[in-house]
Amino acid sequence: MEILRVEGVNKSFGGLRALNNVNFSVEEGTVHAIIGPNGAGKSTFLNCMIGRLAPDTGTVMFGDISLTGMKPHEINQIGVSRVFQTPEIFDDLTLMENIMIPALAKRDGEFALHAFARVDLDAEIRDKAMHMLEDVGLAEKRDTTASSLSRGDKRRLELAMCLSQDPKLLLLDEPTAGMSRADTNNTIDLLKRIGDRGITKVVIEHDMHVVFSLAEKVTVLAQGTIIAEGKPEDIKGDPRVQEAYLGGAHL
Amino acid sequence: MLGLNKKDAYLFLLVLALVVFAPFLLNPFPENSELAQFNAGYPDLMQRFLIFGIFAIGFNILFGLTGYLSFGHAAFLGVGSYAGVWMMKLLTMNVIPAIFMSVVFAGLFSLLVGYISLRRSGIYFSILTLAFAQMSFSLAYSVLTPITNGETGLQLALDDPRVLGVSQVDGSIPQANLFGIPMRESFELSLGGWLFTFNAGYYLCAVVMMVAFYVAVRIFRSPFGMMLRAVKSNQQRMNFTGLNSKPYTLAAFVISGMYAGLAGGLMVAMDPLAGAERMQWTASGEVVLMTILGGAGTLIGPVLGAGFIKYCENIFSKINDNILYGWFSGLPEGLADALVFVIHPFIGKGWHLTLGIMFMLIVIFLPGGIMEGLERIGRLFKRKPPSEDNAAAQASAAPAE
């Protein structure tokens, strides 16, 4: 079953056509990778999907709900979470609080005036947050402020924040960018593990190692258009993909 | 206790003790000693400590938690004051309805101002609130004279209708009271050379402030408070986490506006008059100073900041050249003249200069305000081996990677 369906999406910035009539769909429960050379429009595409940018034309359907024109918090509330290219976390708060906030958002909705409840006595939320921190291996750092984490840890934290909401669809924008090989492998393992929960994932990635060890389906984007789509091993040998990446040089 | 965790409960009890025993604590010098002018234990000033403490606690809920710097909070205090005086004119001299309506009107007005101002953030938000406050001030000063009595300020009169009370008692305006206890009533206790004053109005302020402080502690520790800190930390992430930051900031704005109204209502209860100058931007700036000076985002900092500024205002502004000459009477005349000449700009009417310098020093050397200063002192006396602490501090200060 399709969980996400993108039809005829166009997006221009001034004279630059960032996305050109993109049609795309994601099957429920799969890991779908979007790859492409620099400036291919991958991030623009993702931003159009989550309401950060409004596409000029076209529709983005999540199940039978149209995401176009919805506000970011509304899109999240229906079950789409996003991990950013540069970790977006609550820098001044502790790791525990960082995860409790999305957990509360999931439970209490977009706004709840619980001004008299005690957050430290909310066992349900605390247990959930603690459990998530253990899952990503940050449990012993739960009371440190998030700003003191390394970049890899920050990304793991952001991932845990998204996972604590049990999203139906998880969008990851270069989840391993700027990570060492060891950290990258850890993240791949983590992503594989959360794959077992049946969360559909869309991964934007540069690193072919990550793409080929995670994705079940790969879409290649170049100059705002989809040039190829298929299984990882088919994509590897596709001449159009090689041309897009290597400028037509044959190896 | 009281639904607070241990640390907060201790803090609450500490504040409670300080407030209850303030008439003693603030009068450390005997009545006829030379240092008696540094005593702050008279009702008028103690009431102001608490009223501005409430004002700052409320402001801190907005500024300390969400980071939205409002430069117009005095407008809500002013609206609260006018509402309070009108209740006393129209209804009764009992202070409860006056205080209640002050909170209600300030809340409604802050809902309006907040709804519009919160469309922007950062400096634009600050400018919008400042503009609103100055507009309110100008309106109160001129156009709205029928309601505010313009420059003269709104006062009680002998012919006020006062539906639930009497217009006058023996040809004079009746006193503000709480179910018959006049706010001005004081009990004086003379012990040796000391004179302690226990004022009914002060203890009403004390009760109200303790309630206000308690509510603030609960807000700080609630999921709502955590969301407000999330607004300050990363609003973008908050929105992509499924939270609508707008109603959160608006709720914080209205709550802090209601605190300001409460302060305004208490001012009226202590002294039933209201003037437009209460809404002026300098008054809004003062509460910003109090909060930053005490420590924005801390529970008790704003109260300390409010007390500190009000103390300086009253004490420094009372010192004049004659008092200085009195202090330096032991020194040779030329030297005394020179010292007085140097100190003169900092005292009396020039106390703002002293305040300004202290504010600069605190912001530069103690960005966390008085609370950070206290914390540093506390750390010096901690029993833990300092090496462990340093290691932790270094680890958290080290850049990521």
Is residue B253 within a helix (H) or strand (E), and if so which, with residue range? helix B245-270
Q: What is the CA radius of gyration of chain A?
A: 19
Closest residue of B to A73, CA-based? B242
Q: Which of B229, B255, B396 lies closest to A93 in CB terms?
A: B229
Same domain, A85 and A109: yes
User: How many Å lie between the alpha carbon of A154 and the closest alpha carbon of chain B?
Assistant: 9
Average pLDDT rounded to a whole number, residues A230-234: 85
Q: Which residues of B touch A89 (CB under 8 A)?
A: 234, 237
* Sequential DSSP letters for B280-303: SHHHHHHHHHHHHHH-TTSSSHHH
- Answer yes or no: do B400 and A118 touch at CB < 8 A: no
A108 and A70 fall within a common domain: no
Confidence of residue B392 (pLDDT cuts 50, 70, 90): very low
Asked if pLDDT for residue B393 goes beyond 60, the answer is no
Q: Per-residue pLDDT tens for A76-98?
A: 999 999 888 888 999 999 999 99
| A132–chain B nearest CA distance, Å | 16
pLDDT of residue A69: 80
Same domain, A146 and A190: no
Averaged pLDDT for residues A53-72:
86
| Residues in B lying within 8 Å of A, measured between beta carbons | 3, 5, 218-219, 221-227, 229-230, 232-234, 236-245, 247-248, 251, 255, 395-398, 400-401
**Interface contact flag, B230 A93, Cβ < 8 Å:** yes
pLDDT of res. B124: 95
> Cβ B222–A149 below 8 Å, yes or no?
no
Largest CA distance in chain B: 79
B316: pLDDT confidence band, cut at 50, 70 and 90? confident
**Per mean pLDDT, which of A236-245, B156-165, B383-392 is the most reliable?**
B156-165
pLDDT of amino acid A95: 94
| Domain co-membership, A68 together with A94 | no
| The pLDDT of residue A54 is above 80 | yes
Dihedrals phi, psi of A83, to nearest 5 degrees: -105, 130
Q: How far is A7 from chain B (nearest CA, A)?
A: 23
d(CA A74, CA A72): 5
- From its phi and psi, is residue A140 left (phi > 0), alpha (psi between -120 and 50) or beta? alpha
Instruction: Check residue B338 and give its pLDDT.
Output: 87
CB B72 within 8 A of CB B135: no
pLDDT of the residue at B385: 53
Q: Which domain holds residue A190?
A: 1-79+169-174+186-251
pLDDT at A27 exceeding the cut of 80: yes
pLDDT of residue B61: 95
Query: Of the candidates B225, B236, B255, which has its C-beta nearest A88's C-beta?
Result: B236
Q: Which residue of chain A is at minimal alpha-carbon distance from B242?
A: A73
Of all residues in chain B, what percent carry a pLDDT higher than 90? 51
Find chain A residues with C-beta within 8 A of B225's C-beta.
115, 119
pLDDT of residue B383: 62
Chain B nearest-CA distance from A73, in A, is 4
State how far the Cα of A119 lies from the Cα of A99, in Å rounded to an integer. 13
Closest CA relative to residue A17, chosen from A219, A223, A204, A222: A223
The C-alpha atoms of residue A71 and residue A110 are separated, in whole angstroms, by 11
Range B36-280 classified under CATH 1.10.3470: yes
On chain B, the residues whose CB falls within 8 A of the CB of A122 are 223
Contacts of A119 in chain B (CB under 8 A): 221-223, 225-226
Q: Would residue A180 count as lying in a domain?
A: no
CA nearest to A104 within chain B: B223
Indicate yes or no: CB of A112 within 8 angstroms of CB of B223: yes
CB-based contact B222 A117, cutoff 8 Å = yes
Whether residue B399 has pLDDT greater than 50:
no
Q: Is residue A110 assigned to a domain?
A: yes
Contact at CB, B240 and A82, closer than 8 angstroms: yes
Which phi and psi (to 5°) does residue B80 adopt? -60, -40
Instruction: For residue A124, give Cα distances in angstroms to A97, A121, A144, A197, B360.
Output: 14, 9, 21, 20, 46
Q: Are residues A74 and A84 in the same domain?
A: no
| Separation of alpha carbons B4 and B60, rounded Å | 19
Greater confidence, B78 or A40? B78
| Predicted-assembly ipTM surpassing the 0.95 threshold | no
The interaxial angle of helices B301-316 and B369-380, nearest 10 deg, is 110
**What pLDDT does A103 receive?**
92
Domain count, chain A: 2
- Across the range B144-156, mean pLDDT stands at 88
Asked if residue B396 has pLDDT above 50, the reply is no
The band of A247, judged by pLDDT with boundaries at 50, 70 and 90, is low
In DSSP terms, A13 is beta-bridged to A16
Distance from the Cα of B65 to chain A's closest Cα (Å) equals 11
Highest mean pLDDT out of A184-193, A197-206, B66-75, B345-354: B66-75
Does the pLDDT of residue A24 top 90, yes or no? Answer: no
Q: A157: Cβ–Cβ under 8 A, 6 or more apart, which residues?
A: A87, A89, A95, A98, A99, A136, A138, A146, A149
Q: Tabulate helix, strand, coil % of chain A (nearest 5).
A: 40, 25, 35
Integer distance in angstroms from the first to the last C-alpha of chain B?
42
pLDDT of B74 > 80? The answer is: yes
Buried b (16+ CB within 10 A) or exposed e, B24-53: eebbeeeeeeeeeeebbbbbebbbbbbbbb
Residue B100 contacts residue B268 (beta carbons within 8 Å): no
Q: Which range, A97-111, A213-227, B189-203, B340-354, is most confident?
A: A97-111
The residue among B302, B218, B297, B222 whose CA lies nearest residue B1 is B218
Query: What is the tens place of the pLDDT at every residue in B170-205?
Result: 888 888 888 888 888 888 888 888 888 899 999 999
Edge-first strand order for the sheet with A57-62 is A16-27, A2-13, A57-62, A65-66
B220 has pLDDT over 80: yes
User: Which 8-state DSSP code applies to residue B176?
Assistant: P
In B146-255 the beta strands, taken as DSSP E runs, fall at 154-155, 177-178, 181-182, 186-191, 194-199
Please tell me what DSSP assigns to residue B350.
G
Coil, strand or helix: which one is A12?
A: strand
* Nearest CB to B242; choose among A90, A110, A122: A110
| Residues of A whose CB is below 8 A from B238 | 90, 101
Q: Are residues A36 and A87 in the same domain?
A: no
Looking at every residue in chain B, the average pLDDT score rounds to: 88
User: What is the predicted pLDDT for the residue at B384?
Assistant: 58
User: What is the arithmetic mean of pLDDT over A219-239?
Assistant: 85
**By CA distance, what is B236's nearest residue in A?**
A88
Point out the residue among A90, A104, A150 whose CB comes nearest to the CB of B400.
A150
**pLDDT value of position B321:** 79
Q: pLDDT-based confidence at A246, cuts 50/70/90? A: low
Domain termination residue (choose one: A117, A132, A166): A166
Q: Is residue A28 part of a domain?
A: yes
What is the pTM assigned to this prediction?
Answer: 0.90
Predicted local confidence at residue B250, as pLDDT = 96
User: Where does residue A85 rank: exposed (0-12), middle (13-18), buried (19+ CB within 10 A)?
Assistant: middle
Q: Where are the beta strands (DSSP E) in B233-368?
A: 273-274
How does residue B401 score in pLDDT terms, banded at 50, 70 and 90?
very low
Question: Would residue B67 be called left, alpha or beta, if left means φ above 0 and alpha means ψ between -120 and 50 degrees?
Answer: left
- The rounded mean pLDDT for chain A is 86
Residue A96 touches partner B, C-beta closer than 8 Å:
no
Residues A64 and A39 in one domain: yes
* A104 interfacial to chain B (CB closer than 8 Å): yes
A154/B224 touch (CB, cutoff 8 Å), yes or no: no
Q: What is the pLDDT of residues B103-146, one digit of tens each?
A: 999 999 999 999 999 999 889 999 999 999 999 999 999 999 88
Q: What angle do CA A54, A58, A64 make, to 5 degrees?
A: 95
Confidence at residue B397, expressed as pLDDT on a 0 to 100 scale = 45
pLDDT above 70 for B394: no
- Residue contacts between A and B (CB atoms, under 8 Å): 118
R_g of chain B, CA atoms, integer Å: 23
Cβ of residue A210 closer than 8 Å to a chain B Cβ: no
Decide if A41 is inside a domain. Answer: yes
Q: How far is A202 from A160, CA to CA, in rounded Å?
A: 16
Smallest CA–CA distance from A141 into chain B, residue: B396
Residue pair A102/B238 in contact by the 8 Å Cβ criterion: no
Q: Do residue A113 and residue B242 have CB atoms under 8 angstroms apart?
A: no
Q: Are the Cβ atoms of A90 and B236 closer than 8 angstroms? A: no
Does A120 touch chain B if contact means CB atoms closer than 8 Å?
yes
CATH number at residue A120: 3.40.50.300
Are A21 and A141 members of one domain?
no
Q: What are phi and psi of A79, to 5 degrees?
A: 115, 20
B32-41, B58-67, B219-228, B305-314: which has the minimum mean pLDDT?
Answer: B32-41
In a domain, A33, yes or no: yes
- Chain B partners of A77 at a C-beta cutoff of 8 Å? 242
d(CA B81, CA B147): 12
- Of A221, A225, A219, A244, which is closest to residue A20 (Cα–Cα)? A225
Q: Do A115 and B219 touch (CB under 8 A)?
A: yes
Q: Report yes or no on A179 lying in a domain.
A: no
Segment of A16-25, A205-214, B24-33, B134-143 carrying the highest mean pLDDT: B134-143
Residue A113 lies in a domain: yes
Encoded tokens for A223: 């100059």
Residues B95 and A46: their CA atoms lie apart, in Å, by 59
Query: Do A93 and B218 count as a contact with CB atoms less than 8 A apart?
Result: no
